[in-house]
Structure 1
């Protein structure tokens, strides 16, 4: 068996770089309390084992079974309920529903373990608009007008800041110390973005929008999927170190990938898809202390007792008349669940392992899917650190860090003193995903804690003394990586396999709430349409 252990210095070097890791060796600091949390990896890894050759007896039959209770699975259940099709079960491997919208509730306020905001949707995104209205997040509807979020839910100022050259500045572009050449290249990039925001195909569709299903699939747009973001920048003469850092940060933040790994299509999608009109600001963000857990908690409530947690679906066996599922319960017993239709609301690599025909011979395009590992840490602080000349923002980033900085869970509470929680994000994207996962699993809590505190202490020298607890969540397969070639197969990967349907954000090639919700609603409507039901679609444009 391979030795996956790492020395302390090696572990820290992988997270924060060799110079800072060496500095850690010179620091003698008390151990910070906390724990490593996260998905049930041992239970999930049972999917690597071959299932038994014969299925156990059928325990019951259900009209629809949804495998996975992330955003896509919950959205599918939510839509089925609205369509009056209440005979469904939602099976979840973990003890908590929500997928990467997981959250914690044992702090001064709830806090996210993953996705932490949604932009205010355009009126074309009917599904998200309806969901937000259900939880009273939007102001009363005005005919012909775009949705408007309640003011108290919009991220308040200051929204974001960057620590560079020993001080904080407003915004995330590193403007402090930028040369005339840097600013000229930034203006050139913004002009390229404006050109794509204005662009429309022969059918009037934009090049980029959310959900992606409403965007153009014109060859001019998809040509961007044939090269990396780094290659695209080189083609356009974009070489400013500050601009490239800013664009690279955007890719790491939304996709968990570097410029050299991200497709040029995904880079343009990031900067164009949330802009409704040329030269306008992106749509404002809606945020709750627990992040998108507020939305998944509501949808899990709609599912109610039909949501069954800590269940492992070992195998999915489709036939012409029904689909059988081999289910293992928390105590270890197994049974067969028979369904008229099944929705695999799981990442593609999981679907490949549990769908019997695919385990024997998977579609070639499945090999295009890869997933970035992430580490998320929540720092429970007894007091906010000194803010410096620029006040604490919702999103706080350190220039030249491999991590993404932190968001503040109490930011929306209008309390600028006292206890708070910093949620720190770090994608492991400097190596190939498999190597990143190996490193992620090899690190101990003290290694994670030391790396986080060393990184953030550059901006907050008093942080160690203020940290009461630091917990870590390991996401081995945090989100799909939008590498070149993936956008070209979007339509193909959405097609059902007989009575087995697919719903996950990775079918769009980007790990966004809106994409997961779209595919969950699409799967639910597709099933009901196959049953002959007529209804007003929430997604057909």
Structure 2
């Protein structure tokens, strides 16, 4: 469901691409995010005074998944007098979708794992949308949205193999390392519960011990040195957290597997032994944009897009929020009884005035990863190397990028034809990575992407007709060492008593906030996935 990674094209890699231009003219541009709008909040001094006055019972600042979940919860409570202020032209945050020459594709998060019982709010949403229903006493999911087979493959040693864990041609020592790591994950899962969303599991000494070190350090201490295992684990961290195993905590590295369906060792045929038959993925041609649009649709005009929130201040009677309307070039002043701040913590700390101590601490403590997402329009199917058949998720071993997903994979039309490949690269948390993301010209992105994908697809430069690149300078929070301990320490101490709500399974969801403010964003989990953002937004909407 979510964005990822940390690897950068180093100087040597960029030099190697210097002569690698496309074989034909390929159109394209940067698309999908209004970078200048976010930077204006940082750079502009002296915004014009408010000339437009608006009111609502509840305001939601931020229209990502957390903000949309909060709006849904408000509607469920019968609160119709609310407004969602969203900076971009469409709500959804990292789960927004787009299209290239008429073919729908994701601009960010592209799947949602079938949620477990800890994510019952997400289960309820899927039931509401008709994706989950009970048949003969058990829950089943709409097969049209479960990821079609084949699901994933890896380009490894010059050929495609099934699955993403390297197994084709590896030695017995590597397979033994896989089995030992699987056993270690299972033992840790038995020793201490890992949940998704994470707030459903108590934070225990084992969690804090893992949180105190990097995943790389823990793997080294445990004797996990096999290069193929280490490559795969680093890939998983870049994919889910936006930074690699040298950056994220060991808690995050173990949580990736232990909170869902474990770590499965490939068998001799490439099948994943011990796979849970219900451990599927839900996906659509437009990725999680399908979910974002259905969350946004019932809100209608109550979602005010193209608004950059400039200031949020508590008053005696509630809150006062100033927002810049990019269409009218005017400052609006909104007044409401309550505001749900569904913004990244570093943005929230800038606009909430004065920012509470716990918010400023969270902003200083939470790094964010930069991401690039490219949608590549093809006029016909690509030539392919030997091995496993084309899949939904296609990863290149050792490449800077995270591979690509195919927008046509969920189509029921058997006829081959034009499609869009969505390619991802996580650039990590370093400031120079963010600068490179924003300063690198579109043509350099085009050449780097084509050069990377030419290894398994030698004709990609001939088949590509358009490439649109979406840039996220602060795509997602990265769970670095100490983040779990920090959030666990400030959470219970900085809550307004009225912000606790008892949910269906009698487990409370803490919503940080003050008398008239609630904070709801995946950043409060320390990492960014749909289940975390939705659960926190839902709880804030119930409590507002």
In terms of mean alpha carbon deviation, does 234-243 or 114-123 score higher? 114-123
1:130 to 124, 133, 139: 124
Deviation at 1:280, TM superposition (A): 4.6
If the length of structure 1 is used for normalisation, what is the TM-score? 0.88
Equivalent position of 1:537 in the other structure: none
**What does 1:95-494 correspond to in 2, within 5 Å?**
95-140=89-134, 145=138, 147-200=139-192, 206=193, 208-275=194-261, 280-281=275-276, 283-330=279-326, 331-358=328-355, 363-387=360-384, 388-414=386-412, 415=414, 417-429=416-428, 432-491=429-488, 492-493=490-491, 494=511
Deviation at 1:51, TM superposition (A): 6.5
Distance 1:395 1:464, change over 3 A: same
Answering whether residue 15 of structure 2 is matched by residue 15 of structure 1, we say no
Distance 1:54 1:156, change over 3 A: closer
Deviation at 1:48, TM superposition (A): 1.4
Equivalent position of 2:271 in the other structure: none
Equivalent pair of 1:225/1:263 in contact (CA under 8 Å): yes
- Which secondary structure state, in structure 1, belongs to the residue aligned with residue 468 of structure 2? strand
* Structure 2 residue runs without a partner (length 5+): 1-6, 265-273, 492-510
Taking the aligned partners of 1:362 and 1:123, their CA distance within structure 2 comes to 30
Taking the aligned partners of 2:308 and 2:182, their CA distance within structure 1 comes to 47
Taking the aligned partners of 2:542 and 2:88, their CA distance within structure 1 comes to 26
> In the TM superposition, what whole-angstrom CA distance separates every residue of 1:430-460 from its partner, at most 9, and x where no partner exists?
xx43211100111111101100000000110
Distance 1:416 1:486, change over 3 A: farther
- Which secondary structure state, in structure 2, belongs to the residue aligned with residue 110 of structure 1? strand
Deviation at 1:399, TM superposition (A): 0.5
Deviation at 1:23, TM superposition (A): 5.0
- Which secondary structure state, in structure 1, belongs to the residue aligned with residue 199 of structure 2? helix
Equivalent position of 1:505 in the other structure: 522
Equivalent position of 1:521 in the other structure: 538
- Which secondary structure state, in structure 1, belongs to the residue aligned with residue 140 of structure 2? coil
State the aligned residue count. Answer: 505
- Which secondary structure state, in structure 2, belongs to the residue aligned with residue 151 of structure 1? coil
Equivalent position of 1:7 in the other structure: none
Deviation at 1:277, TM superposition (A): 11
Taking the aligned partners of 1:132 and 1:42, their CA distance within structure 2 comes to 35
Equivalent pair of 2:52/2:331 in contact (CA under 8 Å): no
Distance 1:324 1:117, change over 3 A: same
In terms of mean alpha carbon deviation, does 376-385 or 416-425 score higher? 416-425
Distance 1:276 1:254, change over 3 A: closer
* Structure 1 residue runs without a partner (length 5+): 1-12, 201-205, 528-541
